[in-house]
Amino acid sequence: MYFQIDRKMLQIVRRLFRCFILVCMLCGCVSTQMATSSKDETKVLSSKFGVQLSQKKDNIALYSECASWIGTPYKTGGTSRSGVDCSGFVQSVYKKVYNKKLSRESIEMLRVDCSKIMKSRLREGDLVFFHTGKKRKPNHVGIYLKDGKFVHASSSRGVMVSDLSETYFLDTWHTAGRVK
């Protein structure tokens, strides 16, 4: 009788061990798939933004969210994917990626939500401000990415990626800000 209990116990332990191994293998497959899809997403985003991204160094959530807005048409006062203006775009992205509520107008974003920084100190996620009208006050805002690239809602082409070295942005540059 004692021998039979040990044999039954051994069968139970073997079954539990097999289940444990199966669970470990399945978890390993899932994490491998996730790592592969993350690498694929990073490659796609790198291509879309024209910059080399790294999962370890860059905020992939920021790039992914911005990418989902690319091509959204411009609409004055808009805050949705059916139409958005520059400050509505920045406000929406910041809420989703950083869970921060920013002011609704670009001039207020600079005045209330940011600390001014030098252009040479720009980091991913900083805001870039431009004065595109006759007044020398900021009336346009975008989100800095890296390597001189930023994303913004253009009144002529909707949400898009641009380069700070483009003549238009050199001529209309106002300042940069780091969200507090």
- Active-site residue numbers? 86, 140, 152
Helix, strand, coil shares of the chain, percent, nearest 5, are 50, 20, 30
Burial of 153: CB neighbours in 10 Å, binned 0-12, 13-18, 19+: buried
**Which among 141, 151, 174 has a CA at the least distance from the CA of 59?**
151
Quick one: tokens of 122? Answer: 């720009």
Q: Is the dihedral of CA 69, 75, 80, 85 positive or negative?
A: positive
Quick one: tokens of 96? Answer: 């989703």
What single-letter amino acid sits at 92? S
